[in-house]
Structure 1
């Protein structure tokens, strides 16, 4: 197998107070005899082809819904940390997470409504 290239994906992660970038490198390999291309599959993400990791998405959702911190304030906080994330992007992330969590909401609703009290 001969390496002919690589795909690099960068994801923005957040640990409380610290932003970091995770780099995922997937090499491309080709067989010289049979001319087949082999590459590792992309791991699943909440937002396909998006830059946030699950940690950053969890931080945005917890800050918005548990800590009652509006997106414009989160935008300012992230800006002071040196990362410019527009509130429109944060809103799109919240919406995408809402779509992904809808199955959990439906299951919880069915469980709650199945009890008499």
Structure 2
């Protein structure tokens, strides 16, 4: 399936605006019998795009180098939270479009 994933990855990088997020998953360490935290990074165009797709990129850490490697030389607008792992990309020509989902939750909790 890797050739299909690679082709979809290239299609997604043709979009001018992308959403990105990372979520923790448990990974079983080979031969250790224990799990550790790994991350599944998700990249998708906006709902205004004709391309309806998500590419998931598994990484064994949350280091920003994984986002930079996936996005490479892409120069579009990135919708993401304020996680510092994305910041280096903003210094390399990616435009940050933050969202307020995390802040909204805090207001909701205060209201409740």
Q: Which has the higher helix share?
A: 1
Calculate the TM-score normalised by the size of structure 2.
0.32
Calculate the TM-score normalised by the size of structure 1.
0.31
